[in-house]
Chain A
Amino acid sequence: DTAVSQTPKYLVTQMGNDKSIKCEQNLGHDTMYWYKQDSKKFLKIMFSYNNKELIINETVPNRFSPKSPDKAHLNLHINSLELGDSAVYFCASSRRASSSGNTIYFGEGSWLTVV
């Protein structure tokens, strides 16, 4: 079983469209994340949810909206897609912050290309 799974893996869409990426984790973790990886492989945190509550919301356009229906799912919806949104989006999860530290587990990534 895949610990953190996200769909779709590849997505090609036109500018102006709205698209969603779904993510599910079966690790029982309380915290889930969305990261964006640009063409230079740089990873940037976008959002973090802890038990369905938003705890990190970095400076991203309002066109990006995360939704967490339960603690095992964190979906990313993107409105009015722009060329600059082309990137790889990674979902990840970890246990809630603890003194023993956490390991963050990543999904396989969703390659978004906006044309």
Chain B
Amino acid sequence: AQSVTQLGSHVSVSEGALVLLRCNYSSSVPPYLFWYVQYPNQGLQLLLKYTTGATLVKGINGFEAEFKKSETSFHLTKPSAHMSDAAEYFCVLHPPNTGNQFYFGTGTSLTVIP
């Protein structure tokens, strides 16, 4: 069975502090994993994705995520939070070669405190 769990529906950080958004997955096949960001009143935008190869992937706006198979995790990080990072973040799992199924986490709302 495929599933994604995002730990913490709300995360608050101070401006300039480390951002860490947690995502754990369950998959019967090696998964492809994505992080999407949704700014207020907008659609979802791809931040980064992991398919194969290097387990540390870099995305837009200074975000990166590391695929850890042993921990079944794909946590999203950013060294220094900006006010503009305040948004909803979604971790998404896509099992390759299994059709067009995408499994969404329940989202984490990031608040950045000035």
Contact = CB atoms under 8 A, between A and B. Distances in A.
Interface of A: 4, 31, 33, 40-43, 45, 48, 50, 55-56, 90, 92, 94, 96-109, 111
Contacts of A31: 100
A109 B45 CA distance: 12
Given A55-B100, A108-B43, A101 B109 contact: no
Contacts of A50: 100
B100 A101 contact: no
Nearest to B102: A104
Interface of B: 32, 34, 36, 38, 41-46, 49, 51, 88, 90, 92, 94, 96-102, 104, 106-107, 109
A43 B109 CA distance: 14
